[in-house]
Amino acid sequence: MNNFLTNCCCILLSSVAARRKGVFFRMHAEQEALRLGLVGWVKNTYHDTVVGQVQGPADKVQQMREWLATKGSPFCRIDKAQFNNERPISKLEHEKFRISY
């Protein structure tokens, strides 16, 4: 567990633009984050994009980043993914991964 906290990072998902209406993108993002053991949140915006924050072991955060940028939910097409504010953290700021409304 100590190694988990010393190798922890956070990224802010500033935007995923995808053809995603009705494809349950947030639900699939939540499932992937939980599968990877990550915490944070994801939500839709009024600009038809998805934003969020992902925290956990750096290698797992990188896997989630790649998933968000290239795969997403089964029936969506990712047009563009932007990430910013990647930084190391000393402790997790969230207890679980959730869909925010």
Catalytic option among 2, 3, 7, 26: 26
Q: How crowded is residue 97: how many other Cβ atoms within 10 Å of its Cβ?
A: 25
Q: Give the residue among 36, 38, 66, 40 at the shortest CA–CA distance from 51.
A: 40
Question: Residue 79 is inside which H or E element, if any?
Answer: strand 77-88
| 20 noted as active-site residue | no
98 carries an active-site annotation? no
- Annotated catalytic residue: which of 19, 44, 65, 98? 44
Catalytic residue numbers, as ranges: 26, 44
